[in-house]
Amino acid sequence: MNPEIHLLWKEMLADLTTAAALWELFIIALACGIAWGVNGALRAYVMRNAPEKWKLGIGGVNRVLFPLSTLIFVQIGKIILSHWQHTSLLHLASTLLFAMAVIRLAVYAVRYIVAPGGLLKTLENTISTSIWVVLALHLSGLLPEMFKVLEDVKFKIGKHPVDLLLVLQAILTILVTIFIALSISRFIENKVMRAEHVSVNLRVVMTKLLRMFLLTIALLVSLSAVGLDITFLSVFGGALGVGLGLGLQRIASNYVSGFIILLDKSMQIGDVITVDKHYGVINDLRSRYMILAKQDGTHVIIPNEALVTTSVVNHSLVEHKGRVQISLSISHKSNLERAVALMHDEAMQQERVLMKPAPDVLVKGFTENGIDLSLTVWVMSPEAGSGALQSSLYLAIWRAFEANGIAFAKTDAAAKLAEI
């Protein structure tokens, strides 16, 4: 066991049989109480006076500040009390509080980078478990022995000899630097995306290039920090080239297509497009795919490669408007011309419907049950959806048909019931 850890446990066990432990426990309780009061006062002040966006994050800030402020007060008590007795219990409390602060700070930062979901929960659990395991090994005195075991496991990457401890240090350093790079990237992205004088596509391109640049710098810095020769990356570069040529070609194509779309400005967030049989509003443009919000509320994920290799109808290139269509059938005995006129008039009465282009009513065909009609209208702000408008159109047309003696066509099931 590490001599320092052994001495710490020996002093702490000795203090537990004396009144010294009571003083240490009193200082810990006092530090927790003061920290709780300070954080409570800070929370109350923010909720009363701070802007709304600060109020949303005060809960997470409090969860980080509580162990940090408690740690500060415990350290102050430890310095004072060390003039008269051992402070091994305070040392242990400081270590635990520091671990708790690091965990909460890491979790808070992860939530800033990663969107809510299963991945976020997994990362939070992994971070907290890893820190507690390392802390347990440290307090038990097994951490140095664990380092020696890992250092004895040696192997080669290409022609470069490495040990398992060095690899784990490299992985940890890479993760930390990438974590910092992503945090900086997200902060700058939020600033750039609010720059309304810059086009949406250019903002997206700038943020994606910035993220790639920061991640590359983070990787190179982290490898240099642990003493690894950066030239050994040529081994992975060759493997990556083979992978791109074999199995990753489509993925690489989607990334390249994404940048082409953003740079040529043929599409941007908010445009109304038709891809294949999907009609909707571009909700988001990602590096690998696009999210299309359809009028029925569903979202379609379309690979960027499909947007480059297939025909795409962009209805927003001329004017930002969307198409809404409904279909119905009337009986053969109804006045067809009157029905067409009523459908057109009722569409013109709707607030969202545009006058130019005017609503269009078409006779789609004749069936055994009746005459099929369709109504097409154009609206502004298609991202607002079409469900409410379609419902309003159906209701208005039904009332007009009822008032003018126009009957809807019976379905096959209704016709059979009528015969019985």
Does residue 147 share a domain with residue 48? yes
Instruction: Tell which wins on pLDDT, 322 or 129.
Output: 129
Instruction: Tell which wins on pLDDT, 161 or 230.
Output: 161
Which pLDDT value is given to residue 246? 55
Per-residue pLDDT, averaged over 333-349, amounts to 91
Does residue 381 share a domain with residue 287? no
Say what percent of the chain tops pLDDT 70: 78
Is a pLDDT exceeding 90 seen at residue 55?
Answer: no
Is a pLDDT exceeding 80 seen at residue 143?
Answer: no
Does residue 198 share a domain with residue 113? no
Does residue 69 share a domain with residue 204? no
For 256-285, write each residue's pLDDT tens digit.
Answer: 777 777 777 777 787 888 888 888 888 887
Q: Which of 152, 175, 202 is the last residue of a domain?
A: 152
Which pLDDT value is given to residue 372? 92
Does residue 365 share a domain with residue 341? yes
CATH, residue 385: 3.30.70.100
Query: DSSP letters of 68-108?
Result: HHHHHHHHHHHHHHTTTS--HHHHHHHHHHHHHHHHHHHHH
Which pLDDT value is given to residue 10? 63
Which pLDDT value is given to residue 420? 43
Say what percent of the chain tops pLDDT 90: 10
Instruction: Tell which wins on pLDDT, 19 or 406.
Output: 406
Q: How confident is the model at residue 36 (pLDDT cuts 50, 70, 90)?
A: confident
Residue 292 CB burial class (10 angstroms; 0-12, 13-18, ≥19)? buried
Q: Which residues contact 266 (CB under 8 A, 6 or more apart)?
A: 312, 314
Q: How confident is the model at residue 417 (pLDDT cuts 50, 70, 90)?
A: very low
For 184-240, write each residue's pLDDT tens digit.
Answer: 888 887 777 777 666 666 777 777 778 888 888 887 777 777 666 666 555 556 665
Does residue 126 share a domain with residue 38? yes
Is a pLDDT exceeding 50 seen at residue 419?
Answer: no
Q: How far apart are CA 72 and CA 198, in angstroms?
A: 45
Does residue 342 share a domain with residue 269? no
Does residue 64 share a domain with residue 171? no
Per-residue pLDDT, averaged over 372-389, amounts to 80
Q: How confident is the model at residue 416 (pLDDT cuts 50, 70, 90)?
A: very low
CATH, residue 188: 1.10.287
**Closest among 168, 151, 149, 99 to 129, alpha carbons compared:** 99
Per-residue pLDDT, averaged over 379-399, amounts to 82
- Supply the mean pLDDT for the chain: 78
Q: Which three-class secondary structure state does DSSP give residue 166? A: helix
Does residue 205 share a domain with residue 75? no
Cα–Cα separations (whole angstroms), residue 180 to 21, 172, 175, 191: 40, 12, 9, 17
Does residue 60 share a domain with residue 114? yes
Tally of domains in the chain: 4
Q: Which of 132, 152, 172 is the last residue of a domain?
A: 152
Q: How confident is the model at residue 245 (pLDDT cuts 50, 70, 90)?
A: low
Domain that holds residue 20: 3-152
Rg (Cα) of the chain, in Å, rounded? Answer: 33
Predicted structure pTM score: 0.51
Q: How far apart are CA 327 and CA 374, in angstroms?
A: 4
Q: How far apart are CA 192 and CA 198, in angstroms?
A: 9
